[in-house]
């Protein structure tokens, strides 16, 4: 069985001192592809990510300006994004989007930076990986206004059913994290029931969102199997069906990269 963790943060400081061991455990457990996020606001993150992806062909990368730091966006940050693209050949622009839950940056800054990240993704002909908290409907409006034509992934989906159905209707992809294993995540499980296999990805968002029974611990991509198992149980199919569908979908998104 091969597992795909389509969104994780292997650059995180929680892995310092044991990053290679974490990666090796994932590979030994059958995680065949790990998509890790580089932070253009932090040279250290970019350096760690470049080093990991150079050493391990199983590790692919994405990079973009996160909405939390949108107010800090600058020409220097954008130059770092393009420099990283030249060095790492990322498979997507992300994560970027809108976060109206934490409001770490003013909404107008978030909107401006999201539109710029969509322009970069369009220029590079890359998928965009969306971070959304309480903003899915507005993000869909912006995608339409910008006439964004590349693939779209809504990572770690936590929105409602109606918006999920609109996302799917537009042909976008929804990525499911360990939240699907949480006892109180019945609404998300009902959404998972409706996601076609061709529009589904799995992720851990490591080191965050450890699935049951590991909640409260540092998460790693090795736990993506728990996400796959939970989705398989909801859809009443075997885990191999989900794992193969996700691998196919991720391969399509990464085509040519």
For the chain, domains (ranges, CATH) are 3-253 (3.20.20.140)
Report pLDDT for 108: 98
Alpha-carbon span 128 to 94, nearest angstrom: 6
| Among the listed residues 122, 128, 127, 65, the one whose alpha carbon sits nearest the alpha carbon of residue 99 | 65
Report pLDDT for 76: 98
Alpha-carbon span 215 to 2, nearest angstrom: 24
What mean pLDDT comes out for the span 137-164?
A: 98
pLDDT digits (tens, 9 = 90+) for 15-46: 999 999 999 999 999 999 999 999 999 999 99
pLDDT digits (tens, 9 = 90+) for 162-190: 999 999 999 999 999 999 999 999 999 99
Residue 198 clears pLDDT 70, i.e. is over it: yes
Contacts for 156 with CB less than 8 Å, ≥ 6 apart: 7, 131, 175, 176, 177, 179, 203, 205, 209
Report pLDDT for 161: 98
Work out the number of other CB atoms within 10 angstroms of the CB of residue 115: 15
Tokens of 191: 């959404």
Give the model's confidence band at 256: pLDDT under 50 very low, under 70 low, under 90 confident, else very high.
Answer: low
Share of the chain above pLDDT 90, in %: 98
Distances in Å between the alpha carbon of 39 and those of 2, 69, 100, 137, 194? 27, 10, 20, 25, 33
Average pLDDT in the chain: 97
DSSP tally for the chain: helices H, then strands E = 9, 8
* Residue bearing tokens 């989906």: 157
Report pLDDT for 255: 83
Report pLDDT for 257: 58
pLDDT digits (tens, 9 = 90+) for 106-143: 999 999 999 999 999 999 999 999 999 999 999 999 99
| Among the listed residues 2, 53, 57, the one whose alpha carbon sits nearest the alpha carbon of residue 28 | 2
């Amino acid at each position: 069985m091969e597992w795909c963790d389509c969104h994780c943060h292997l650059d995180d400081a929680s892995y310092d001192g044991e990053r290679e061991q974490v990666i090796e455990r994932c590979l030994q457990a059958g995680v065949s592809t790990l998509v890790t996020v580089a932070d253009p606001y932090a040279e250290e993150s970019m350096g760690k990510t470049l080093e990991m992806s150079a050493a391990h062909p199983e590790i692919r990368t994405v990079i973009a300006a996160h909405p939390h730091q949108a107010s800090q966006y600058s020409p220097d940050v954008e130059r770092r994004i393009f420099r990283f693209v030249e060095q790492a050949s990322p498979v997507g622009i992300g994560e970027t989007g809108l976060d109206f839950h934490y409001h770490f940056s003013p909404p107008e800054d978030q909107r401006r930076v999201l539109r710029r990240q969509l322009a970069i993704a369009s220029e590079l002909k890359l998928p965009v990986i969306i971070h959304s908290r309480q903003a899915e409907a507005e993000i869909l409006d912006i995608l339409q206004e910008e006439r964004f034509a590349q693939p779209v992934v809504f990572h770690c989906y936590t929105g409602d059913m109606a918006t999920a159905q609109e996302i799917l209707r537009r042909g976008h992809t929804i990525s499911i994290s360990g939240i699907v294993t949480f006892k109180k995540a019945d609404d998300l499980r009902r959404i998972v029931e409706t996601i076609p296999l061709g529009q589904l990805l799995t992720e851990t968002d490591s080191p965050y969102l450890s699935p049951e029974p590991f909640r409260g611990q540092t998460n790693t991509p090795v736990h993506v199997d728990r996400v796959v198992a939970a989705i398989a149980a909801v859809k009443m199919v075997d885990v191999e069906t989900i794992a193969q569908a996700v691998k196919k979908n991720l391969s399509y998104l990464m085509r040519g990269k």
